[in-house]
Structure 1
Amino acid sequence: MKSVTVIGSGIIGLTSAIALQEQGFQVRIVAKERFDKTLSNKVGAVWFPYAIEPLKKSSLWAAQSFDRYKKEAGIAPGISFVPFLNAYVDESKEDWVDQLPPGTVRKARPDELPNGMEKGFIADVPLAEPPLYLPYLFEKFLSLGGSYEQKTLASMVEVAGLDSWVINCTGLGARALCQDEDLHPMRGQILRAEKLTVPSFADPTKKGALSYIINRSQDSVIGGTDYDDDWNESIDPKDTDLILSRLKTFGIRKNPEILEVIVGLRPKRSAVRFEFDPDFPNVFHNYGHGGAGFTVAWGCALELSEILSQKTR
């Protein structure tokens, strides 16, 4: 059986591993941290192509992921479809809208828009709840014959020596591992709160003032921040106050009960690195997905598995 090692156990690593298994590969995951310690376990994870390039390619990946989640809804724990309102302005590039099935997306009526939001699209989109979905993926990976090893890798030489084929899904960790200075953190702070009654929405139209509410089965995720080149992983009370103050601008008068404050660093890059390494040709890179990891993960994984399958025929 063809053998491949995937580095990283976040959403990109797990979906890549399973897609490869479905193509007949024997897959091992090697990761510094288990899935429940990764950035992927911290996020709200609604389907939303945010802070990712290139736009056209990522829109195709997002559409493929949409289809995969549609197949998993009602089967995979944590996967459901929810109405989601996304704000836009005239200069916004909304390529993702054209990739969805006809009738999936419509423009919001004025009475559906929160205070301060001028325009928006409404669509029923996938919601992945990481505490439920990631364990399901990990167990599925193991049930398909996969193995897991916890290990820290220090160099590309070490990476390339892991297996005949290696898939690098290390997210922000690839900056040091690959000496990739194009990859940098975009700091996000979010609030996990009691479940709200207002509709889920996102307003990404103002740089540095990302605002959203994602209603999940048992709670709501309120965001957020999008600070480029900010490595601070500590909770900042000022950001908590800022997030809550923005809620008021959208007409939400009463502060919700906060259950947890979470900080994570998104792996942002000028474009997703999705290619074979020029110096280590048995290594394929799949990292730099910005704030859209769950949104494009399956699309990337399926394309990657097809590329490697063709390589090994």
Structure 2
Amino acid sequence: MNNPKSATVIGSGIIGLTSAIALQEAGFEVRIFTKELFDKSLSHKVGAVWFPYSIEPKEKTDRWAAISYKRYQEESKYAKGVSMISFLNAYSDLQEEKWVNQLPHGTAREATPTELPKGMENGLIADVPLTEPPLYLPFLVERFLESGGKIELRTFSTLGELDELEAWVVNCTGLGAKAICQDEDLHPMRGQILRAEKLEIPSFADPTRKGALSYLINRSEDSVIGGTDYDDDWNEQEDPEDTMKILDRLKNFGVNQKPKILETIVGLRPKRSAVRFEFDPNYPSIFHNYGHGGAGYTVAWGCALELANEFKEVILGK
């Protein structure tokens, strides 16, 4: 390796971009190789509200989520596409909602009966970060490039190909890591969402029923209505039946305003029994950072900053 302070990030979604910027902030020279630019990535398709959904292990992911919360809270003062919003989350067992403990004191509270949508029995309301990918991802790319970073289109098929790069490598390929790493634990969780004209209804989510994930996220110019959470479903095409289910669930929550649909979006979340966050045992110059399920934005900065600290300790000895 010619330059120990040179790092290459594979992937330009939210995990790749935050990892690259965190490494720059730690003193590394960073380039990004990606099979497609950020606006074609899964990260560009999602609602991206802060909530630790469908991600393990909780003891680590809650910590990463808390770090990310603080970063987004600071960025909301100046970054494009980042704001703090009031968000209602349904729950079945309050004892399982450990993520609340990672929020600033007094941030979360029980929703009153009048604040709960029709049919929702329990919910927590908290001020949380909302990131709007069409605005935030270009902001991150611009920041990365202005700090001397370079982005190049390139594909990889094996870990051996990554190992041949003369740099420390961070594998942020999301679902692509299934083939690159031959990772049998990694699988898709299909999501379908509807982008609609902005609705005058408070943002909320109900993740309590597997296979019937429901949420409404109001952004600056539109609303995102979701969704689906189908494991091992590789279908990236719009399913009209899912569209009807999404709209029916929204109506069942007492939302009588008929949404004007602008776009139907489908994406495959990279789900794993646990986020892979480690140096590869066989290729010690490669660090894996993938498998974030439905919470990529929620934990991205936490993972990125912890990754950068580990690189400083292991590689720079600081």
Q: One fold, TM greater than 0.5? A: yes
Q: How big is the shift at 1:51?
A: 0.5
Q: Does 1:14 align with 2:24?
A: no
Residue by residue over 1:211-254, the C-alpha shift from the partner in whole angstroms, topping out at 9 and shown as x without a partner, is 00000000000000000000000000000001000011100123
* Structure 1 segment 1-313 matched on structure 2, within 5 A: 2-90=5-93, 93-312=96-315, 313=317
Amino acid at match of 1:26: E
CA contact (8 A) 1:105 1:124 kept: yes
For 2:187 and 2:166, locate their aligned partners in 1 and report how far apart those are by CA, in whole Å: 28
CA contact (8 A) 1:84 1:201 kept: yes
For 2:8 and 2:148, locate their aligned partners in 1 and report how far apart those are by CA, in whole Å: 13
Residue by residue over 1:270-313, the C-alpha shift from the partner in whole angstroms, topping out at 9 and shown as x without a partner, is 00000010110110000000000000000000000000011122
Query: How many pairs does the alignment contain?
Result: 313
For 1:93 and 1:162, locate their aligned partners in 2 and report how far apart those are by CA, in whole Å: 43
Q: Percent identity?
A: 69
Residue by residue over 1:47-104, the C-alpha shift from the partner in whole angstroms, topping out at 9 and shown as x without a partner, is 0110000011100000000000011012100000000000001276211100111011
In angstroms, what is the RMSD of aligned CA positions? 0.9
List runs of 5+ in structure 2 lacking aligned partners: none
For 1:195 and 1:92, locate their aligned partners in 2 and report how far apart those are by CA, in whole Å: 34
For 1:154 and 1:182, locate their aligned partners in 2 and report how far apart those are by CA, in whole Å: 18
CA contact (8 A) 1:56 1:95 kept: no
For 2:72 and 2:167, locate their aligned partners in 1 and report how far apart those are by CA, in whole Å: 31
CA contact (8 A) 1:18 1:141 kept: yes
Q: What's the TM-score once normalised by structure 2's chain length? A: 0.97
Q: How big is the shift at 1:160?
A: 1.2
Change (3 A) 1:169 1:66: same
CA contact (8 A) 1:186 1:229 kept: yes
For 1:90 and 1:311, locate their aligned partners in 2 and report how far apart those are by CA, in whole Å: 40
For 1:237 and 1:103, locate their aligned partners in 2 and report how far apart those are by CA, in whole Å: 42
List runs of 5+ in structure 1 lacking aligned partners: none
For 2:179 and 2:89, locate their aligned partners in 1 and report how far apart those are by CA, in whole Å: 34
Amino acid at match of 2:306: E
Q: What's the TM-score once normalised by structure 1's chain length? A: 0.99
Amino acid at match of 1:14: L
2:244 partner SS: helix
